[in-house]
Structure 1
Amino acid sequence: MYLFKNNLSMKSQLYDHILKLVPSFENEIDKVLRYFEEQTFSKNSVVIDEGDLVNRFYFVIKGCLHIYFKDHDGYQNTIHFAIEDWWVTEYNAFLGTNPSNFGIATLEETEVLMITKENFEKLLLDYPFMGIYFNKVHMRAYGASLQKQKTYPMTTKKDFHAYFCKTYPDLVKRFPDDVFASYIGIATDELKVFNENFRS
């Protein structure tokens, strides 16, 4: 379930994020905010379901989401998270016409700014500097993804758990055990053992 909101402070957060990455275009940033709508999702809401056609792109103002796919047994396998100041959608489905291969759901009550695919395309045509902004956003995200791809196969799952807990201690506290366990690729019972060993 989601609600539309009208909150200037939500858009000011996106303003600050854009300004940080493309400061030369400060005078233009206010104009791009009108392309976005505010939404609030309750905890455990499905934002995008597997098989959906996707025409929305989200900037996270507050909250936490996870991206997952379901295996043959219907078990959710989490592959990524999105928190404050991150962008999230099912990119292949958003950019193309194929149904989504992944689901996206909230782990907390979550506030976002949403832009439709139609408005996203208009935004890039009307304000080309936003292409520079999104290029920087996605280069950072891709770099982080590559780092995970390097770290994960070179460590044991126990060591990856310890690495993640040390690197993102506040973030880990926001994950339900079953979601964090699926991200690491272990059972929930094994996660409990890892947590106990890590704390000791």
Structure 2
Amino acid sequence: MKDRLKENIENLIALTDEEFSFILSHFSLEKHKKNDFIIKEGEHVTHCYFVISGLLKLVYEDNDGKQHIVSFAMEDWWESDFSAYFSQTKAKMALQCIEDTLVFSLSLDNYQKLSAELPKMQHFFLQKSNLGHIASQNRILSFLTSNAKERYEQLLKQYPILFQRVPKTLLASYLGVSRETLSRLSS
């Protein structure tokens, strides 16, 4: 479990064993069952999460009660309602388990301690943030410039494993299409 976190961090920065032990001491291990909410809309967001195993969905529910999948998070991904996490406000989105899930959680206090006491972690978090912004902008651009078929093909090419692990209704929501449209796109 801890090796997965270490590898994720070491993809961007080099660590000594002592540094990793220090980093690991700031995380808590959490187990969640399928359908559990890690974050509920309207609750204060106190942690961000690194996925060790399992699959999560970040969901926004509009005023009409329609759910929109903002993102999926599987092994080696970081997820939270980051706006609420960093501003220490109430969640506008919910984070729910699609599968039984094991995560390392990191409080904002510990995030700040790691950044202050181990500057290379500040660099790591900045790089992760930058990569997240790039991915978000690319997703927005795909909605602005691509049709449903192109978005489907792009997702299939980029994350083929999602199509084996995520129910079609959730994939349809993520792609911004109906379940019926997704069935037509995949045939």
Q: Same fold (TM over 0.5)?
A: yes
CA shift for structure 1 position 82: 1.0
CA shift for structure 1 position 62: 0.8
Equivalent position of 1:42 in the other structure: 33
Equivalent position of 1:7 in the other structure: none
Match of residue 190, structure 1, among 168, 181, 186: 181
Residue deviations 1:14-43, cap 9 Å, x none? Answer: 1121122111x4342222111111111111
Equivalent position of 1:144 in the other structure: 135
Are the equivalent residues in 2 in contact too, given 1:46–1:103 (CA < 8 A)? yes
Equivalent position of 1:72 in the other structure: 63
Cα distance in structure 2, aligned partners of 1:162 and 1:124: 38
Equivalent position of 1:4 in the other structure: none
Cα distance in structure 2, aligned partners of 1:112 and 1:15: 14
CA RMSD of aligned residues (A): 1.4
TM (norm. structure 2) is 0.93
Are the equivalent residues in 2 in contact too, given 1:38–1:112 (CA < 8 A)? yes
Residue 158 of structure 1 aligns with an amino acid whose one-letter code is: K
Cα distance in structure 1, aligned partners of 2:88 and 2:3: 32
Q: Does 1:91 align with 2:90?
A: no
CA shift for structure 1 position 181: 0.8
Aligned counterparts, 1:50-199, within 5 A: 50-196=41-187
Residue 162 of structure 2 aligns with an amino acid whose one-letter code is: L
Are the equivalent residues in 2 in contact too, given 1:15–1:30 (CA < 8 A)? no
Cα distance in structure 2, aligned partners of 1:138 and 1:97: 17
The gaps in structure 2 that reach 5 residues or longer are none
SS at the partner of 1:14?
A: helix
CA shift for structure 1 position 167: 2.5
Residue 88 of structure 2 aligns with an amino acid whose one-letter code is: T
SS at the partner of 2:25?
A: helix
Are the equivalent residues in 2 in contact too, given 1:19–1:29 (CA < 8 A)? no
Are the equivalent residues in 2 in contact too, given 1:181–1:188 (CA < 8 A)? yes
The gaps in structure 1 that reach 5 residues or longer are 1-9
Cα distance in structure 2, aligned partners of 1:131 and 1:81: 25
Cα distance in structure 1, aligned partners of 2:158 and 2:22: 37
Are the equivalent residues in 1 in contact too, given 2:46–2:88 (CA < 8 A)? no
TM (norm. structure 1) is 0.87
Match of residue 8, structure 2, among 4, 7, 17: 17
Cα distance in structure 1, aligned partners of 2:84 and 2:132: 18
Number of positions where the alignment pairs a residue of Structure 1 with one of Structure 2: 186
What is the percentage of aligned positions where both structures have the same residue?
A: 29
Equivalent position of 2:21 in the other structure: 30
CA shift for structure 1 position 113: 0.5
Cα distance in structure 2, aligned partners of 1:155 and 1:92: 27
